[in-house]
């Protein structure tokens, strides 16, 4: 893939915020972080455990950040410490990016009704949906002058996608949570939105069965007849997190090459994708 050049400017100048969910340079959160930094934002990052720290530290340094917090979203003490760090360092924040999801591999293959366990359901919903409510509440407590939050979702919340299974249910909960959070925080001028991205090759995506078929089918069926570019997702996040997004809240915005709008793919494109 060609080196991505993120448009520079001052749309985020003077704004500070937290990026949750960078695992490596392919993470969607990292594309968003680069775009926000290119527009002047000051960033802090969370990482999940020491193994990922080694990857996130140099990335953060490359956008001028040395504020990194070890934060597993299921660990209340680490969540407390993360937001306390931000309060101590900056006093307040202006934005939050939540790009976190997890479901056990055994939950992400085959039959939804047969393979979804109570524990698998609980942990998928906890990590992938409740963590946004929890992080959003904590972030809002230090958004003293209004603010904006964005989470990442996927079309599997609205329609059945093979193997996405319990994650689709978690994403539906995440999108509903986005709307309730938007209503609660709206009077304080804190906007809450979700971006529904098309499939992008990341660690998380690799955990979902039939990945190759998914990318080929999406390319064939999208209006653009191409897969989703993380730069488009980063651009949407910039819009939603900057003052450009004024008055936009409670929204699930699709950035998927128009895949969600298509009822039936073009015959030629579909044939080519299935043969290719
Ligand atoms: P990724 O693997 O790069 O990021 C997922 C992140 O979730 C990782 O940084 C991981 O450390 C974090 N995470 C998982 N469990 C955690 C926990 N308990 N505590 C703290 N962090 C935890 O993959 P990605 O594709 O960039 O995923 C980011 C978001 O985008 C996810 O919500 C994903 O569902 C969503 N999304 C991805 C795609 C895609 O095709 N890649 C499409 C639509 C939406």
Residues 266-276 as b or e (16 or more Cβ within 10 Å = b): eeeeeeebeee
Atom of ligand 1 nearest to the CA of 100: 7
Range of the domain at 161: 16-205+228-264
User: pTM above 0.95?
Assistant: yes
Q: Is 239 assigned a catalytic role?
A: no
Tell me how far the alpha carbon of residue 245 lies from the centroid of ligand 1, in angstroms.
24
Q: How far apart are CA 44 and CA 166, in angstroms?
A: 30
pLDDT in tens, the chain (276 residues): 567 899 999 999 999 999 999 999 999 999 999 999 999 999 999 999 999 999 999 999 999 999 999 999 999 999 999 999 999 999 999 999 999 999 999 999 999 999 999 999 999 999 999 999 999 999 999 999 999 999 999 999 999 999 999 999 999 999 999 999 999 999 999 999 999 999 999 999 988 877 888 999 999 999 999 999 999 999 999 999 999 999 999 999 999 999 999 999 888 888 877 776
Query: In this structure, which residue's CA is closest to atom 23 in ligand 1?
Result: 204
Q: How far apart are CA 58 and CA 39, in angstroms?
A: 20
Q: Is 203 in the pocket of ligand 1 (CB under 6 A)?
A: yes
Pocket test for ligand 1, best of 202, 207, 216 (most atoms within 8 A of CB): 202
Query: Does residue 4 lie in a domain region?
Result: no
| Cα 48 from chain centroid (whole Å) | 15
Provide the CATH number for the domain around residue 111. Answer: 3.40.50.720
Query: Does residue 3 lie in a domain region?
Result: no
Query: Does residue 200 lie in a domain region?
Result: yes
The number of domains in the chain is: 1
Secondary structure class of 139 (helix, strand, coil)? helix
Q: Is 200 in the pocket of ligand 1 (CB under 6 A)?
A: yes
Cα dihedral: 129, 133, 138, 143 (round 10): 110
């Amino acid at each position: 893939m060609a080196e991505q050049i993120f448009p520079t400017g001052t749309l985020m100048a003077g704004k500070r915020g937290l990026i949750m969910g960078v695992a490596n340079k392919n993470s969607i959160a990292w594309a968003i972080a680069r775009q926000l930094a290119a527009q002047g934002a000051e960033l802090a990052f969370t990482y999940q455990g020491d193994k990922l720290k080694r990857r996130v530290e140099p990335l953060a340094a490359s956008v001028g950040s040395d504020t990194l917090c070890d934060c597993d979203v299921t660990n209340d003490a680490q969540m407390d410490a993360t937001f306390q760090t931000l309060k101590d360092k900056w006093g307040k924040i202006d934005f939050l990016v939540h790009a976190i999801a997890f479901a056990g591999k055994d939950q992400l293959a085959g039959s939804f009704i047969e393979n979804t366990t109570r524990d698998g359901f609980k942990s998928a919903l906890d990590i992938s949906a409740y963590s946004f409510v929890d992080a959003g509440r904590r972030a809002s407590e230090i958004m003293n002058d209004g603010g904006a939050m964005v989470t990442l979702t996927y079309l599997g919340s609205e329609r059945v996608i093979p193997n996405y299974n319990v994650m689709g249910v978690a994403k539906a909960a995440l999108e509903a949570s986005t709307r309730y959070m938007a209503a609660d925080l709206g009077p304080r001028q804190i906007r809450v939105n979700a971006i529904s991205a098309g499939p992008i090759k990341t660690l998380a995506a690799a955990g979902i069965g039939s990945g190759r078929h998914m990318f080929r089918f999406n390319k064939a069926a999208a209006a653009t007849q191409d897969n989703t570019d993380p730069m488009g997702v980063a651009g949407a996040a910039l819009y939603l997190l900057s003052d450009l997004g004024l008055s936009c809240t409670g929204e699930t915005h699709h950035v998927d090459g128009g895949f969600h709008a298509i009822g039936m793919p073009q015959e030629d494109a579909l044939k080519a994708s299935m043969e290719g």
